Chains A and B, each alone.
Chain A
Amino acid sequence: MKKRLIAALALLVTVLSVRAWAHHSFAAEYDINKPVTLKGTVTKVDWINPHVYLHLDVKDAAGKVTAWALTTYSPASLRRIGATRANFGQGQAVTVLAYHAKDGSNLAFLRRMTFADGHTVELWIGDENAKAP
């Protein structure tokens, strides 16, 4: 318990008062009109700037494996909401909702991961009080 408290205290500092790295536009890279649902195994959580990447092996009915890359927010912005690398399920089977890259490559913007036990990680954009489309 004491050890856990110390670990929590040690993590109290964030150093981001300005953005450390510049981001590109999401709209320039991902297509909101092309949601994709992928079932696969998280082979790697790449905890890097300016965006965290997840690598997913997706197996089709014939057993053919296709590697996908999924991107999300920066490590610092994820940490600010309490999300760490451990929340992204390296080695686990997941179902993912994401938005496909406009260039058609196996790259997508992550919206929601659903784990085998039913818990979810959703990192998205918007205002639930706004008028639904």
Chain B
Amino acid sequence: MSVPRSFSALVVALALLARSTSAQEPVTTPRTADGHVDVNGIWGAAALPPPVNPNDSIKFLFPVPGVHPESKDVFHGFDNRQVEARAAAPNKPEYKAEHLERVKYLSDRQGVLDPAFHCRPQGVPRMGPPSQIVQTPGQVVFLYGASNLFRVIPTDGRPHRADADPSYMGDSVGRFDGNTLIVDVTNFIEDTWLGSDGYFHSENLHVVERFTRNGDTLTYAVTVEDPSVFARPWVIAPRDLKLSKNPADALVEAPPCIEQDSGHIMTLDHH
């Protein structure tokens, strides 16, 4: 009896030792054949529930704490939830004093003036990280599954293009530094906002995106500069994106964006 007991104690001790050792070992971060960090994959996707049978009932209440479903405040509660979430964000762009009035003017009219409300591309960095990255020698391709948009980004050391018109997602060049892909973006069209609260920018917008892979986590960090309108660079809180491991996962075509509401907007309620 005592032999098996001490044997099992030894097994447990060894297992604990192995676990503590592996916890301290650096996680493996894969590399591509050309030696760069491998950023290929679908990143940050969330698992979806199975579709509800068409003959089954569905009940969903968008959660607005403290507002009863029969309350007359549901629409305002829904709007305020979004506004409050943005207000609580850890860091926001800081504008030069002379531009604050314009930010407020635009923000107050967000429900009609926000370019993204009219189905224009949100642009970089408001559109967030790509859903999928396809990496080949000399370039990476970013795919945005929610909007059917893409970016083709050279990583062969070439400079920014001099012949391109300004655009929603700008002109990008990338380079690798250890476990990080750094993307430098310039030449933006002035039509995008950086967020829903009237965060306009000038043509001098300059965005640097950093994608750092650590094991199966990709950390997306963004710095936004616009010396014409910002008091200082805006450093967006980094986000961790998990690699999708299910071989069945694939991006699918997003429904088109067809705006039909603007003719029916009657008040300037902010969302």
Instruction: List chain A positions with a Cβ less than 8 A from chain B.
Output: 6, 8-18, 20-30, 32-33, 47-51, 53, 69, 71, 73, 75-76, 79-84, 86-87, 89, 101-103, 105, 107, 115, 117, 119-128, 130-133
Q: Judge whether B271 and A125 touch: CB under 8 Å.
A: no
Q: Answer yes or no: B270 CB below 8 A from chain A CBs.
A: yes
Residue numbers in A under 8 Å from B82 (CB-CB): 23
User: How many A-B contacts if CB must be within 8 Å?
Assistant: 241
Q: State whether A75 touches B255 (Cβ < 8 A).
A: yes
Q: A6-B248, A20-B254, A29-B261 are in contact. Are A81 and B58 (CB under 8 A)?
A: yes
Indicate whether B243 reaches chain A with its CB closer than 8 angstroms. Answer: no
Contact assessment for B111 and A28 in the assembled complex, using a CB-CB cutoff below 8 Å: yes
Does residue B212 face the partner (Cβ distance < 8 Å to A)?
Answer: no
Among B44, B64, B251, point to the contact of A127 (Cβ < 8 A): B64
Which single member of B47, B55, B254 contacts A12 (CB below 8 Å)? B47
Among B79, B256, B269, the residue within 8 A (CB) of A49 is B256
B250, A124: Cβ atoms under 8 Å?
Answer: no
- What residues of chain B have their CB less than 8 Å away from a CB belonging to chain A? 42, 44-52, 54-79, 82, 111-112, 114, 116-117, 119, 122, 126-129, 131-132, 144-147, 196, 239, 241, 244, 246, 248-252, 254-271
The answer for the CA separation of A130 and B45 in the assembled complex, in Å, is 32
State how many angstroms separate the Cβ of B21 from the closest Cβ of chain A.
Answer: 33
Contacts of A53 in B (CB 8 A): 260
* 9 closest cross-chain pairs (CB), A and B: A15-B145, A20-B146, A126-B69, A22-B116, A18-B128, A25-B269, A27-B75, A15-B131, A9-B248
The residue from B44, B62, B257 contacting A48, defined by CB atoms under 8 A apart: B257
The chain A residue sitting closest to B55, CB to CB, is: A119
- With a cutoff of 8 Å between Cβ atoms, the chain A residues found around residue B63 in the complex are 126-127
Closest B residue to A73 by beta carbon equals: B62
Complex Cα–Cα for A20 and B144 (A): 9
Contact among B52, B144, B147 for A84, CB-based, below 8 A: B52
Grouping DSSP codes into helix (H, G, I), strand (E, B) and loop, the A interface class, with mixed when no group exceeds half, is: loop
A12, chain B: closest CB distance, angstroms: 6
Set of chain B residues within 8 Å of A23, measured between Cβ atoms:
82, 117, 271
Q: Is the CB of B50 within 8 A of A8?
A: yes
User: Which residues on A sit within 8 Å (CB–CB) of B239?
Assistant: 17
Do B255 and A49 touch across chains, with their CB atoms under 8 A apart? yes
| Chain A residues within 8 Å of B57, by CB | 119-122
22 contacts between A and B (CB under 8 A): A13-B249, A17-B44, A17-B241, A20-B122, A20-B144, A20-B257, A21-B117, A25-B265, A25-B267, A28-B265, A28-B266, A48-B255, A50-B117, A80-B49, A103-B264, A103-B266, A121-B58, A126-B64, A126-B74, A130-B71, A132-B68, A133-B72
Q: Tell me the complex Cα distance, A10–B62, Å.
A: 26
- A32/B75 contact (C-beta < 8 A), A20-B147, A119-B57, A124-B60 known: yes
Additional 8 contacts, C-beta under 8 A, given A13-B250, A18-B126, A127-B68: A13-B249, A25-B79, A29-B265, A82-B48, A83-B51, A103-B266, A125-B62, A126-B68
CA distance A15 to B148 in the complex (A): 11
- When the two chains form their complex, are residues A14 and B72 in contact, meaning their CB atoms are under 8 A apart? no
Taking a contact as CB atoms closer than 8 A, the residue among B69, B79, B144, B248 that contacts A10 in the complex is B248
Decide: B61 and A125 in contact? CB cutoff 8 A.
Answer: yes
* Interface pair B114/A22, CB less than 8 Å apart: yes
CB contact under 8 A between A105 and B264, given known A25-B79, A33-B72: yes
A48 to B64, CA, bound (A): 25
Contacts of B145 in A (CB 8 A): 13, 15
Q: A25-B271, A49-B256, A122-B60 are in contact. Are A107 and B116 (CB under 8 A)?
A: no
Interchain CA distance A81-B117 in the complex, whole Å = 23
Nearest B residue to A47, CB-CB: B255
